[in-house]
Amino acid sequence: MRLLVAALTLSLLVHARPALADQAPPTIEQARLQQALQAPVGADPASRLYVAEGVASLGQSAQAAALRAALVGAHLRLVDGAAVDPALSLAALLSQASEPTPLGADSALAGAWSGAVAHHVRLRFLDASDAAAHPLPEPDRGGRSEVAPGMWVTNAPVGSMVLFVRAHQEPSARLVLTRLHVQWLGAHLNCAPAHGLAVREQDGLLACDGSSRAAELAPRLRAVTSSRGGELEGVVDPGEFDSTTATSAWIDAMAAGHEAELKQLLSRAAPCESASAPARRCRWARPGASPVSGADDVPPAPSRSIWSLPGRFQTRDVAAMISWFCAGAVLCWLVCATLASRSILIDFVLHVLVTSGLAVAAWWIGVFAWLLFTSAHRSLALEGALLGLGTYVLVLLGIVVGGSAHFVRHLTELVREGPIWLV
């Protein structure tokens, strides 16, 4: 029975402490993370992917993956004509996604990206002037010669082919393309941007390479030469999600050009991290909380302690009060249970001494805990004193009630067992 009561005491003490974790001051990484998530999505969600890279560099890989998926999803919604509030913060965007889908070959986002490419991207052959402006570089020719505008093949029954095409997409789409797989007249072509890591503009130049067979060359030449600037009739699939490496390269390409913003993001909290004045320290809110604009300039709101003072009590406040009271009562009961006397007066004195001793011990433990708390939270000294005093009163009441209840129980047992003595 006593072991059961002791286990109950430990559980109550553990239950009374969960909010202590909220007292820990935010780390530098947490402050920077929250400041990063306060940035707006903007008119081009894909341009905010550098924020996800910054979040990953802070050690939050899971949240970075969720942010990447949320940004890609928002970008696809814009491409399909849906409205996305540009003033929406990244934190709010994350909160809207109940189960963010990770980026991968089998993910729903990969399927949506493939559908957007098939719907919005059209490949067009180059005309003579455009092909003359973009010849195949000499080191890359490898025996190939230009047999049609933008089409270079080797002079062999079975060889290789390079085909330059324009990736045309609607002005509202602006899909960032890094790899395309094209099936065209029996040829399997792998296309990549001819210049740079990605195609962002409305008409981006792609270089496609594949096999060349003499028997299949004639219809391809007719297709290129008979339609000046015409569309390439084939099946076009994106290749950004073929592998983890391809996906990572695609994300890097979408986030390219934002190195300065990324450095600013990682150092944004530096001026306020070492500030001694509370009003100039970094303001931080828990992940998932509503973002606050101008967080760098607004004085920090006082963090919550075990209770929600000042203000209205919450359910967890009542639970904490009950826990501290029960902890004092059960602790005093267990200590008094070690007493053994058949004298009412001696038993009463012993119970009073135990109760008083526990009350004094609880007081000094509370003072020591308050000193530790105020040394770590100088701006919350008054609140810490009030909460500490309230906690001590609850523990004291529990000690008195526990000692009194045990004395009454012990007195009842003495009466039942036989004659008792006053001294």
* Closest of 343, 341, 357 to residue 403, by C-alpha: 357
**Positions of the chain with pLDDT lower than 70, given as ranges:** 1-32, 97-102, 172-173, 227-229, 259, 265-317, 342, 374, 376-381, 383, 417-423
Interval 374-417: pLDDT, tens:
676 665 667 677 777 888 888 888 888 888 888 888 778 777 76
Please check whether residues 99 and 57 belong to one and the same domain.
yes
What pLDDT sits at residue 36? Answer: 75
Q: Is residue 177 part of a domain?
A: yes
What pLDDT sits at residue 22? Answer: 45
CA dihedral for 170, 175, 178, 184, sign (positive or negative)? negative
Contacts of 267 (CB under 8 A, 6+ apart): none
Count of structural domains within the chain: 3
Running DSSP on this structure, what letter comes out for residue 177? Answer: B
What pLDDT sits at residue 316? Answer: 64
Its domain, for residue 179, covers 120-240
Q: Is residue 394 part of a domain?
A: yes
What pLDDT sits at residue 315? Answer: 59
Strand partners, 114: none
Please check whether residues 102 and 127 belong to one and the same domain.
no
Please check whether residues 40 and 84 belong to one and the same domain.
yes
Dist CA 33 CA 208 (whole Å): 41
Q: Is residue 13 part of a domain?
A: no
What one-character-per-residue DSSP string does 87-150 give? T-BHHHHHHH-SSPPPPSTTSHHHHHHHHHHHHHEEEEE--HHHHHHSPPPHHHHTTEEEEETT
What pLDDT sits at residue 124? Answer: 93
Please check whether residues 101 and 138 belong to one and the same domain.
no
What one-character-per-residue DSSP string does 323-380 give? HHHHHHHHHHHHHHTT---SBHHHHHHHHHHHHHHHHHHHHHHHHHHHHHHHHH-GGG
Dist CA 340 CA 173 (whole Å): 85
Dist CA 231 CA 126 (whole Å): 10
Q: Among residues 210, 240, 270, which one ends one of the domains?
A: 240
Dist CA 99 CA 66 (whole Å): 9
- Do 375 and 398 form a contact (C-beta atoms < 8 A)? no
Dist CA 179 CA 249 (whole Å): 10
Q: Is residue 284 part of a domain?
A: yes
pTM, rounded to two decimals: 0.55
Please check whether residues 295 and 371 belong to one and the same domain.
no
What pLDDT sits at residue 132? Answer: 92
Token pair, residue 364, equals 């000094």
What pLDDT sits at residue 421? Answer: 54
Q: Among residues 240, 270, 288, which one ends one of the domains?
A: 240
- Do 50 and 262 form a contact (C-beta atoms < 8 A)? yes
Strand partners, 209: 162, 190
What pLDDT sits at residue 390? Answer: 81
